[in-house]
Each structure stands twice: as C-alpha cells, then as structure tokens.
Structure 1
Amino acid sequence: MPLLEIENLTVEFETRSGLFRAVDRISLTVNPREIVAIVGESGSGKSVAMLAVMGLLPKTARVTADRMTFEGRDLLKLTSSERRRIIGKDVAMIFQEPMTSLNPCFTVGFQLGESLATHLGLGRAERKRRSIELLAQVGIPEPESRLAAFPHQLSGGMSQRVMIAIAIACSPKLLIADEPTTALDVTIQAQILDLLVSLRDKTGMGLVLITHDMGVVAETSERVVVQYAGQQVEEATTRALFADPHHPYTSALLAALPERARERRLPSIPGMVPGQFDRPPGCLFAPRCDFAFEACRTTPPVRARADLGFALCHTPLVGGRPTPQNLPKGVTFAEPGKVSA
C-alpha cells in the first residue's frame, strides 16, 4: 500500500478579487522507501500542496481532492485530534524558513522535547538523552549545551539543522523536506542528505523532497515531479528525466544548469510565472515557450504519456525537439522559437 496517495488536489485562496488557484489538480503517490522530488520555480505550488497534506493552510484556503490518503486513511475527513496523532509523528515536515518556524520564546531543548513527550511519551531524562542524540545526528557541535539556546542565538544554518532534528525525532513514516539544505554550506548539505537517505534505509520511510537544486535531485531522488504555476507539467524517473525531458519547461530548467551550459552566459527562461490575473487560456507555459504554436496559446494541453510518466504538453519533446508525428498538420520547427506553417 502506498504511504501517500493524492488525486486531483486543488488549493484555492480567497482574495478580495476572487479565488486564486495556487494548486491545480495535482496527483502524487509516494511508496515506502521511495524518494520523490518536486521541483519548479517559486510560485509553482510545491510547498502549498504539501502544507495541504499536513493540514497547515490558513482558513482562507479551500482544499479539495478526489483522494488524499495516508496509509489508506482519508486525510480530508480526519478530526483535529486524529490529525494531531498522525502529523508530527507518522508524517513530519522540514519547513523552508527555520528562522520563522522555531518559536522564539522557547529553548531548542524544549521544542525538541515537546514532540518527544507528545508523541512518544518520553520522560524528562529520556527526552534530554534523545534530544542530544538528534542534535549530534544533524551535525550540531556541543549538542548538550545547545539545548539551552534560544533560536535567536543560532545561525540560519544551525536553525535549519534544529528543524531537521525536530522533524526526524519520532522516526516518521513519511517525511516532507521543503528545501532542507537551503541555508547550509556545501559540506553540511551533503551530510544532511546522507542522513535523510540513511534514515530511509534504516526505517523504510518515504521522502518527499521539495527543492530548486537539480544536483540534489539527480543524486538523491528516484522519481521527479515538475510543477509550473500550480500544475504538474511532467513526471518521470530521475534517470529518464535528466536523459530526455519531454516538457519544454523541464528542458529549459535543465539547460540552465552550469554543467550543461554550452556558452559562457547561462541560458535563462524569459518572462515570469503567471499569477492570478495573467494566466493564459491555453498552456500556462506558452508565453515563455520556444516551441509554442497557436493551439498552445488557446487550448489547455492534456497529459501525454512519456517514459514511465507523463508530460502536460501538446507536443512532448523527444531528444530536445517536438517530433513530427506530434505536430499539427502544416506546422514545423526550423529552429527553436521559429514556427513555420
């Protein structure tokens, strides 16, 4: 049985000018021992979708889904007390902003011990021993003395490691890591990623990794979901996605990697992710796409099957270019961005 199953999750926020759809019918399955990466630009709905799973969105959010379950239990129908027994213990999250996620009024030791007392029922001595062990695991020097520190006394990287320690304290079955290595230097990044992978190997937990770092994706994940403007535009195994991306957005993301750049100047994707008031009627990526033609601008695309996944595109790429059999009659591409008919 999958740990997490999501079908057609939609998240909308009430604003003064109407509803804004931040997450648009995404689906995701995470199995035990599996590492799934979610990538995309800021504003693509990665964090919002996972906060919906955790039940941590504000009251202004409207969350709907055909299915959203953890180990077969419907997360949308849980009572508050039932959710509290799962969230933080079986399902945990490493938040993106450690400086605002830690409570400034309480010490590191108190915040670590709170989770251990609530979910595992540990006594004071056991909580202290386990807290020291957790801080040492995430690479914090002199862990015993850090228990008495307040969040403002820690650096950004140190706060991030405390957040990771809190998230893994109860050995969760599913861990959602939202940019877990953002504030860390390269050495500590590798250490934390190794720790998460080793925890997966020891406990069999599933891991959802939200990141902008395609290098982390390549080294750590087994499957990748690419999001754009709230939609899932591609899903594939990591190996297949890096070898032959099928959506133009995925291809553009990979082309911007320094190790893939063919010129001194790194390529970039022109334009911006559409917001509430400038969403095109067709493909949301069409205004920024080198391969867009008239149907892309007027008609929403449907999922096309790709290698062990899908691409949300009228003409999925093969080998970096649209294939002739996928193109409308009379449309050809002499060069990227130059459409002839």
Structure 2
Amino acid sequence: MPLLDIKNLSVEFTTRAGTFRAVDGIDLTVDEGEVVGIVGESGSGKSVTSLAVMGLLGSNGRIVADRMMFGGTDLLTLAPSKRRKITGKDIAMVFQEPMTSLNPCFTVGFQIMETLRVHEGLSGKALRHRAIALLEQVGIPAPETRLSAFPHQLSGGMSQRVMIAIAIACNPRLLVADEPTTALDVTIQKQILDLLVRLQKERGMALILITHDMGVVAETAQRVAVMYAGQVAETRPVADLFARPRHPYTGALLDALPERALGKRRLPTIPGMVPGIADRPAGCLFGPRCRFATDRCRAERPALTDVDNGLARCFFPLPDGHLGAEGAIQ
C-alpha cells in the first residue's frame, strides 16, 4: 500500500469573480522512501496540490477527492486536532521562499524547538541539544550561536537550511519540498538539493520534490508527474519520460532544455501561457498551444490513459524519438 494515496483530488477557490478550480482530478501516489518529482509551469497547480496534502489551504479553498490516504489514515475525514498532530511530524514541508517562511519575530532556536516541544514533548537541555544537532545535520556552522539568531541575520541559503532542519525535526515519513531553491544562487541551489537528497537517503523518508527544473528531477527523482493547468499531463518513471516523452507538453519542456538545443540557432520555447480562470478551453487544456491538436482535441478533454509504463493525457501520444517543440506551435 502506498504511503500517500490520492485519487481524483480537486481544489477550488471561491473569489469575488466566482469559483476557480486550481487543481482538477489529480491522482498521486508516493511509496515509502520514494522520491517523486512534480514539474510544470507557474499556474499548473503544483503548490496548491502540496498545500492540499498538508491541509494548509486558506479559508476560501475547498478540497474534493475520492480518496486521500496517508499511512492508512483518511485525511479527508480526520478531525482538525488530529490533523495538526500529523502535519509537521509525519508529513512536513519545506516552503519555496526561505526568507519569508520563517517568523521574523522569533529566533531560529525558538522556531526549531517549538516543533520539538509540540510534537516530541522535549524540554530543557534535551530540547536544546536536539536543536543544535539538527542545525549541525543541515550543515550550519557554529550551531550553538545560530540558535539565538533572528531570520534577518541569516542568508537565503542559511534560512533554507533552517527550514529543512525544522521540517526534519520529527523524522517525518513524507517530506514535501516546494521549489526549495527559489531565489537562491546557483551554488547554493546545488548545496540545498544535495542536502535534501542526502537526508532522504539517510532517513529513508519519502520525498515530493516540486520544481520548474527538469534537470533537478532527472538527478534526484525516481518518478515524475508533469502538471499542466491543474491536471496531470503525464506521469512515468524518470528514465522513461526523459528518453521517450509521450505528451506534447512534456516533449516541449524537454526540448527547451539548453543542453538539448546544442547546435540550434535559437532555444526552442513553448508559445502562449497556461490558461487562467477565464480562458480555459472546452477541450484539451494544452490544445491551443499544441500543433497536433485536432477537432476532437478542441471538443473533448482527454483522460489519463496507459502508455509506455505510465500514463499520459493525450489522444495522440508522441511516438519514439519525437520531441517537444515539434509538438508545439512554432
């Protein structure tokens, strides 16, 4: 049985303009110790999906799902008090903005120790020693002195390491990392990703890595879900997806990688934008940007269907060797 098992998850937000479905019929499973990547453009629903899993949606958000199980527990029917005992302990999250995710009014030590007090019941010297050990584990030098530092006294990379220390404090079974390298420079990005992968292997926890970077997914994940406009466009093992993408959107993303454009005069791009609240087409959501779109694509929404050791949401999956920008408007 998967550690996380989600079936037909939809997330709707109520605004003055009406109701908007940000996530539409997502299926997602994560096994114990597995690394799953979720990729897609901004506005594809990646972060909203993670917040739904964590139970951190705002008051105007509504979750509808056939199933949302974690470790055999039904998250849909779980009382808020019991949900709070799971969130931050068994399921933890690293947010995408390290400089704004920490509370500026409290020291680093207080914020780490708060998690340990609430979920582990630690106090006194044991609490302080555990906080210092966590900072050491995430590679922060002189951890004893950092306990008394405020977030504004830390660099972006240091702040993200503190966020990771808080997230792993209670040995979670599942860690959700939502674009953990956003706003960090390239060298720090590599250090943070290496840290996450090392901690995942050492602790045997499952990891959901949400990112824009296909290269990061190729290096770290075992399975990947490509999201587009609130839906999963394709999900397959990483090696299979990179070698033989089946959805035109996946192929276009891969074709736009700089390393795949060597010898070309221009870097391939995907014209247009992810459809928003008022301009979603009746048929395939990627149809307006896809060169292969037919009348059927414009009239019907394709379902996820079995294809080559995975699933793809397309009436006309790409054949072997046929990559991406060729499947998008030129």
- Output the CA distance in 1 between the equivalents of 2:157 and 2:235: 31
Aligned to 2:93: 93
Please tell me whether residue 111 in structure 1 is matched to residue 111 in structure 2.
yes
- Output the CA distance in 1 between the equivalents of 2:108 and 2:299: 53
Aligned to 1:284: 285
Aligned to 1:4: 4
Aligned to 1:128: 128
- Output the CA distance in 2 between the equivalents of 1:101 and 1:124: 26
Q: In structure 2, the residue corresponding to 1:76 is in which secondary structure? A: coil
Distance of aligned partners of 1:136 and 1:21 in 2 relative to their CA distance in 1, 3 Å threshold:
same
- Output the CA distance in 1 between the equivalents of 2:189 and 2:137: 13
Task: Report the Cα offset of residue 8 of structure 1.
Answer: 0.3
Task: Report the Cα offset of residue 337 of structure 1.
Answer: 6.4
Task: Report the Cα offset of residue 321 of structure 1.
Answer: 4.1
Task: Report the Cα offset of residue 189 of structure 1.
Answer: 3.2
Please tell me whether residue 300 in structure 1 is matched to residue 324 in structure 2.
no
Deviations 1:188-214 (CA, angstroms, capped at 9, x unpaired): 433333333333333321111101111
Q: In structure 1, the residue corresponding to 2:83 is in which secondary structure? A: helix
- Output the CA distance in 2 between the equivalents of 1:84 and 1:53: 12
Look up the equivalent residue of 2:30 and give its one-letter code: V
Task: Report the Cα offset of residue 336 of structure 1.
Answer: 5.5
Aligned to 1:139: 139
Q: Which runs of 5+ in 2 are unaligned?
A: none
- Output the CA distance in 2 between the equivalents of 1:155 and 1:71: 36
Aligned to 1:225: 225
- Output the CA distance in 1 between the equivalents of 2:186 and 2:128: 29
* Greater CA drift, 62-71 or 175-184: 175-184
Give the alignment of 1:268-279 within 5 angstroms: 268-279=269-280
Counterpart contact for 1:246–1:320, Cα < 8 Å: no
Look up the equivalent residue of 1:158 and give its one-letter code: M
- Output the CA distance in 1 between the equivalents of 2:104 and 2:194: 29
Counterpart contact for 2:40–2:227, Cα < 8 Å: yes
Task: Report the Cα offset of residue 137 of structure 1.
Answer: 2.1
Counterpart contact for 1:160–1:183, Cα < 8 Å: no
Please tell me whether residue 239 in structure 1 is matched to residue 239 in structure 2.
yes
Identity across matched positions, percent? 67
* Greater CA drift, 161-170 or 195-204: 195-204
- Output the CA distance in 1 between the equivalents of 2:228 and 2:11: 14
Task: Report the Cα offset of residue 304 of structure 1.
Answer: 2.5
Give the alignment of 1:34-183 within 5 angstroms: 34-183=34-183
Task: Report the Cα offset of residue 21 of structure 1.
Answer: 0.4
Counterpart contact for 2:97–2:180, Cα < 8 Å: no
* Greater CA drift, 194-203 or 209-218: 194-203
* Greater CA drift, 80-89 or 219-228: 80-89
Counterpart contact for 1:200–1:207, Cα < 8 Å: yes
TM-score normalised by the chain length of structure 2: 0.94
Look up the equivalent residue of 1:84 and give its one-letter code: R
Deviations 1:102-140 (CA, angstroms, capped at 9, x unpaired): 111100000000001111111221222222222222222
What's the C-alpha RMSD, in Å, of the aligned pairs? 1.7
Counterpart contact for 2:249–2:327, Cα < 8 Å: no
Q: In structure 1, the residue corresponding to 2:76 is in which secondary structure? A: helix
